[in-house]
Chain A
Amino acid sequence: MKKLRKALCLTLAAVLMTGTLTACGNTDSGTGGNSAASDTDSTESSVSSDAGVFKIGGIGPLTGGAASYGISVKNGAQIAVDEINAAGGIGGARVEFNMQDDELDAEKAVNAYNALKDWGMNILMGTVTSGCGVAVAALSSEDNMFQLTPSGSSVDVIKDNTNVFQVCFTDPNQGIGSADYIGQIGVAANDGDMVSRVAIIYDSSDVYSTGIYEKFVEASSSQPYEIVSVEAFTESSKTDFSVQLQKAKDSGAQLVFLPIYYQEASLILSQAVSMDYNPVFFGCDGLDGILGVEDFDTSLAEGLILLTPFAADAEDALTKAFVAEYQKRFNEIPNQFAADAYDAIYIIKDAIERSGATPDMSISAMGDALIGAITQISYNGLTGNDMTWEVTGEVNKAPKAMIIVNGVYQGL
């Protein structure tokens, strides 16, 4: 018995020791990175090892319920970073990428930001979600660090922060874009007429969903169709949608607008079929990924229309190469989060090249240089062509409407 106790104490001590040691290791590598960066004052754009390192940090949920978004961003960004390094880096300087977990919590996101600063981060590619983005942007704007968020789509992330830019559309723009599409271009209802009665089902506990919903309703007042039913659900009641669907059905809606994520949408689609309700479903970029849901009958998604900047089965060479590489390394089909992150890294590269920034610049000086450069570049990538940026941080790109036919995306 005594031996057991001794063993227990030893393991306890060992575990605690590893904790402290790794913590030390962390700070060591951080300071080491800093000195390495400052050592390279004299040598610019020569061989990769002498030209310093651009340290790009990432923040997103890597554990918990939203982990799939964070992991997609991490994987997408890593592919881009590896490609850039294999091709000789940016102006001869290597790129390092470090993604930290925020557990979908603003406080933890701030901790992650501080940890990345200790690591020696020059540029922030994050955050994955809007809620954390608001808290982190307040800090990064104080440091004047260049921040490019792949998927933090709320306006509040870029508002009042001159240093923050987005790769994705803002939520209000998606709402307005959807209303315009349904009203102006028109969607044929399943009975042959054009859609004139629209129902909405949204997640009132989600920032992304309410952001799109509010703008959609606002923009709909000037459109030829009528909103006949608005139903909400929350995070704690997202498994049964029969009430919401019944109301939409009773009000005679020909189109159901779903500004939500794909997991809930897949449930809505299968429950609609079981109650014999057959409207057109219309969603935004959150629906991308619906064909990959486990145990989901993809034939239910036939005719689903979504406004998304990225489709994994597009035919251009860039998308094909990216999807093939992603599948090879991570054994799954990339979604728009991965594509946004991949683009974000290349946009940072373009901005660095345009501004001539070097790794030895201070965080604030590099921030100024990149903020000036990003409004001048025009970028062609996975999630759009001729992407340009406003001073406010918003991206300009054309929204793409996709319809699912025979289990694959097709451009409309």
Chain B
Amino acid sequence: MKDKLKKMPKTWLDNLITYGMVIIVFLLVQMFISRGLVSNLLQGLLVPLCVYVILAISLNLTVGILGELSLGHAGFMCIGAFSGAFFSKVMADIITVTAVRFTLAILVGALFAGVFGFLIGMPVLRFRGDYLAIVTLAFGEIIKNVVNALFVGVDSRGFHFSLKDSMSLGLEADGDVIIKGALGIIGTPRNSNFTVGIVLVLITLFIVLNLINSRDGRAIMSIRDNLIASESIGINVTKYKLMAFSISAALAGVAGVLYSHNLNSVAATPKNFGYNMSIMILVFVVLGGIGNIRGSIIAAVVLTLLPEMLRGLNNYRMLIYAVVLIAMMLFNWSPQILAWREQHSIKDFLRKRRKVQ
């Protein structure tokens, strides 16, 4: 067995650890839940954890693998959340099998977010570095504000759209306003659960890890490492950039669908789909290690759990959260601490002991 493991390419082993980690956590949590050892708070946090993990993995595709800084990730999540919730609400009476409807809603959310990622990516990806960050930030805010002003109603004559108020939709008496501007969508079915969340995390991992280890993935990483060199050997830079960006957006859309079906309502507030959220996701990625998928999963879980676990501190909660965040960033990225960790690493310690034996 050990020899077999050694013969495997290193990336395979690495990916296996990542998948295994997610599955083991899932099994452990299920076991604890069945024994009644998990608090209500933690049970309620399981689906959001999956949402943030998917977001962190998908943004790592743009930031870590493509090497472009995007600050509009929450915007794509917003598109996924609203298109998925809209689909579920409209189809609630037509498709009564929950599993089918929710699967379709996830696909709809991914498709819409992916298409918007493609459309926004076309002009935006011509920029690089700081400029790209600023433009994606703007697009993220535009998406949030448009959704906030959008009114969509449905009656026997079909769909009606308005950017003013629900009266100007001119609905018939049997009509129903589905997206109510700042109120968002109210009354989406609460279909998300931990099992669905974990399955989606695994699918996301599968897509991203396979992409990284494929021919396309190597082309994308070559753009990150040296744009001119990759252009000179005939790599279609625009195509691969758009590919990574749209896949990243589509996966954020999946997270959005999961998010909107976890609560019974979804509204675009600065808190959930604003730039604060985009930066939060970027923090997951940076803390976990840019380009390090497993690291971003762990960072997303830790940083989502932390403020909730600190609830006992009341007013000092956010202060402590910020202090811990700074401390963790230093621990992960400060050159001096990195050097110290190199000197005192557990791996070396184990290796030395093995040699002594």
Chain A interface residues (CB < 8 Å from chain B): 1, 5, 8, 11-12, 15-16, 18-20, 22-23, 25-27, 30, 62-64, 100-101, 103-108, 110-115, 117-118, 131, 134-135, 138, 154, 156, 160, 204-207, 210-211, 213-214, 217-218, 234-236
Task: List, in ascending order, chain A residues with CB within 8 A of B181's CB.
Answer: 204-205, 210
Do residues A8 and B272 form an inter-chain contact, with CB atoms below 8 A? no
**Size bracket, chain B contacts:** 35 or more
Contact between chains at B271 and A26 (CB < 8 Å) = no
B149-165 interface bits toward A, Cβ cutoff 8 Å, 1 = contact, 0 = none: 10000000000000001
**Is A235 within 8 A of B320, CB to CB?**
no
Closest CB in chain B relative to A201 CB, distance in Å: 14
Judge whether B345 is part of the interface by a CB distance below 8 angstroms. Answer: no
CB of B253 within 8 Å of the partner chain? no
Taking A22-B312, A111-B41, A118-B40 as given, write out 17 further A-B residue pairs in contact, using a Cβ cutoff of 8 Å, ordered by the A residue number. A15-B320, A23-B309, A104-B269, A107-B262, A107-B263, A111-B45, A114-B45, A115-B311, A134-B186, A134-B265, A156-B183, A156-B186, A204-B148, A205-B149, A206-B182, A207-B182, A210-B183
Binds A, one of B194-202, B283-291, B330-338, B347-355: B330-338
For the complex, is B232 an interface residue (Cβ under 8 Å from A)? no
Q: With an 8 A cutoff between CB atoms, is B172 at the interface?
A: no
By a beta-carbon cutoff of 8 Å, the part of chain B in contact with chain A is 39-41, 43-45, 48, 145, 148-149, 165-167, 181-183, 186-187, 190, 259, 262-267, 269-272, 306, 308-313, 315, 317-318, 320, 323-324, 327-328, 330-331, 336-337, 340
Given the known interface contacts A27-B39, A156-B183, the answer about A110 and B44 at a Cβ–Cβ threshold of 8 Å is: yes
For B308, give the chain A residue with the smallest CB separation: A111
Task: Report yes or no: A30 in contact with B165, Cβ–Cβ below 8 A.
Answer: no
Which of B41, B323, B330 counts the most chain A CB atoms within 10 A? B41
The 6 A-B pairs of least Cβ separation, nearest first, read: A114-B44, A22-B312, A23-B309, A138-B264, A105-B271, A114-B40
Contact present for B39 and A8 (CB under 8 Å): no
- Given known contacts A15-B327, A63-B318, is B167 in contact with A218 (CB within 8 Å)? yes
B167 and A8 within 8 A (CB): no
Inter-chain CA distance A207–B259, complex, in Å, is: 21
Given contacts A16-B324, A134-B264, whether A23 and B269 have CB atoms under 8 Å apart is: no
Write out the residue numbers on chain A whose beta carbons fall within 8 Å of the beta carbon of B331.
12
- Judged by DSSP, the binding face of A is helix
Distance in Å from the Cβ of B150 to the closest Cβ of chain A? Answer: 11
Q: Which residues from chain B contact A12 at a C-beta distance below 8 Å?
A: 327-328, 331
Given contacts A19-B310, A19-B320, A236-B145, contact A204 B41 (CB under 8 A): no
Instruction: Identify 14 residue pairs between A and B in the complex whose beta-carbon atoms are under 8 Å apart, listed by A's number.
Output: A11-B327, A12-B331, A22-B309, A22-B313, A63-B317, A101-B317, A107-B48, A111-B44, A113-B44, A138-B190, A160-B187, A204-B165, A205-B148, A207-B183
Residues of B within 8 A of A234 (CB): 145, 148-149
Which of A26, A107, A218 has the most chain B CB atoms inside 10 A of its CB? Answer: A107
Q: How far is A156 from B188 in the complex, measured between Cα atoms in Å?
A: 13
When the two chains form their complex, are residues A204 and B145 in contact, meaning their CB atoms are under 8 A apart? no
Contact (Cβ within 8 A) A131 B267: yes
B179 to chain A, nearest CB (A): 13
